[in-house]
Structure 1
Amino acid sequence: MTDLPAETTDDAFLGGRLRLRQLRSGHRAGHDAMLLAAATAAQPGQAVVDFGAGVGAAGLAVARRVDGISLRLVEIDPVLVRLARDNAAANGLGAEVVTLDIGAGAAAFAAAGLGPDSADVVLMNPPFHDAARHRGSPDGARQIAHVATATTLQAWVHAARRVLKSGGALTLIWRADGLAEVLAELQRGFGSIKVLAVHSAPAEPAIRIIVAAVKGRRAPLSIVPAVALRDASGAPDPHIRNVLDGTAALRL
């Protein structure tokens, strides 16, 4: 059993309907995870897989919104795996939590119950900071969680393509200036791509993109209306506040 550090916090998400224990320092769940969850379309009975789940934030937020999904949380860090498992139990949400490197081969995925064409929905928040422009943390685990390598996106999209059924949906969040990279990786095997830009404020450049795509579809790309975290006055945007509280979704 993995020992947990003493320094953890108990944090409320979705207006208090989801409580997560997470490390006080290092990678912590926040707005990105909740926005990703809110943009992930899932239906009762579907098999949903959260790649790079951390303490389970995004996947468990989907499970809190959609009853009856079959949820798997995939995470490489054994400490976060333990926290994710505890968080699922503490919130009364059924989830299988597996320790797995997203870059592992098909055999490792199959051994973890994630064989080809086994998932209806994959959501993921890969490490996306550009190593050339982002000063990495001396904490190795935090570095892995935040900074992308040259092959990170390719490996994660490839893994999603392998486990998704034909017609299965992928939703991911990435830094806004990496849109071209995301679209390039999705060219093989995905269509019906929809892009949502997330701005910190209406007049400021986008900081994140949320992208949804469907395996095996050929429908053209569409850009949906953007959202901003704050309104022009600097106050929290009412719609995004509702999204973060779990009373509204992001429709892609």
Structure 2
Amino acid sequence: MEGPRWEALRPGGLRFVYGNGQHPPGLDSFLLASLPKLKPGWKVCDLGCGTGLLGLLLLQRQRALAVTGLDIQPEAVRLGKLAAAENRVEDRLFFRLEDLRETALPAGSFDLAVCNPPYFPPSAGPLPKGEARRTARTEEACTLEDVCRAAGRLLRWGGAFCLVHKPERLTDLLCALRGEGLEPKRLRLVSLRPERAPSLLLLEARRGGKPGLAVEKPLILENPDGSPTAELNRIYFREEAPL
């Protein structure tokens, strides 16, 4: 059986890992990691963290964070701990084998929660092969409402919740957030090119925030010649310019 795969976020940067049976790292995690406006000293919770790619991306941007990842998959948590040790960030990147719906973490103890959640209900179409991939992509193990409820409980008053999702679930997402006391504050749609319909959305909500949603300019991934845009290159750490 093929072993874990290791890749670097950038030359000389942090390295992430994923197993053969797990959902491979995708664009959505990189895009999501670019959304929060990080502050040194923040406590961050990654809901459904997998092997910890999102936490490592945040630490690549801001080293003075404490990131706690929750996941129900033992192999993903094992690999995440391996990655923390490999990168010598065990003092800043922690993993807990827990169901986010029943976590023992104290309420109100985080400044930021992030999540790359399952996008589709099980009834939306054919299920991915393998338990780990089904857990990552479909709402078999937890629903959108479960994720928002966990974030609403774990965040301090005024704390931020950032996540990536599909545009067709926007109404569901906004309703779920408000239902848990998380006010949508920033929305950014992601398109391959300006003339294409959005394929993803990035959204930030605030616990106890006042009503008022800022719709930011779209994030475009590709130039007319097919090359990555400058912003996408920055998100992938291919350029030194700040995000």
TM-score by length of 1: 0.88
Give 1:1-252 correspondences, 5 Å limit: 6-15=2-11, 17-93=13-89, 94-104=92-102, 109-110=103-104, 114-149=105-140, 152-188=143-179, 189-191=181-183, 193-245=185-237, 247=240
Unaligned stretches of 5+ in structure 2?
none
- Between the aligned partners of 2:113 and 2:241, the Cα distance in structure 1 is 20
- Between the aligned partners of 1:97 and 1:151, the Cα distance in structure 2 is 19
1:63-110 CA-to-partner distances (Å, cap 9, x unmatched) read 121122111011111101011111112112221110111222xxxx22
- Between the aligned partners of 1:103 and 1:192, the Cα distance in structure 2 is 21
**SS, match of residue 121 in structure 1:** strand
Say which is worse superposed, 175-184 or 143-152, in terms of deviation: 143-152
Q: For the structure 1 residues 18 and 30, does the alpha-carbon distance in structure 2 shift closer, same or farther, using more than 3 Å as the test?
A: farther
**SS, match of residue 181 in structure 1:** helix
- Between the aligned partners of 2:221 and 2:129, the Cα distance in structure 1 is 30
Identical-pair percentage: 27
Instruction: Tell me the CA shift for residue 183 of structure 1.
Output: 0.8
- Between the aligned partners of 1:176 and 1:14, the Cα distance in structure 2 is 29
Instruction: Tell me the CA shift for residue 130 of structure 1.
Output: 4.1
- Between the aligned partners of 1:150 and 1:14, the Cα distance in structure 2 is 32
**SS, match of residue 43 in structure 1:** coil
- Between the aligned partners of 1:177 and 1:196, the Cα distance in structure 2 is 14
- Between the aligned partners of 1:27 and 1:249, the Cα distance in structure 2 is 29
CA contact (8 A) 1:15 1:244 kept: no
Amino acid corresponding to residue 227 of structure 1 in structure 2 = L
**SS, match of residue 76 in structure 2:** helix
**SS, match of residue 78 in structure 2:** helix
Say which is worse superposed, 52-61 or 15-24, in terms of deviation: 15-24
TM-score by length of 2: 0.91
CA contact (8 A) 1:42 1:48 kept: no
CA RMSD in angstroms, aligned pairs only: 1.9
- Between the aligned partners of 2:69 and 2:141, the Cα distance in structure 1 is 24
- Between the aligned partners of 1:119 and 1:197, the Cα distance in structure 2 is 26
**SS, match of residue 127 in structure 2:** coil
Unaligned stretches of 5+ in structure 1?
none
Count residues with an aligned counterpart: 239
**SS, match of residue 39 in structure 1:** coil
- Between the aligned partners of 2:199 and 2:186, the Cα distance in structure 1 is 17
**SS, match of residue 56 in structure 2:** helix
Amino acid corresponding to residue 78 of structure 1 in structure 2 = P
Amino acid corresponding to residue 35 of structure 2 in structure 1 = A
Q: For the structure 1 residues 248 and 125, does the alpha-carbon distance in structure 2 shift closer, same or farther, using more than 3 Å as the test?
A: farther
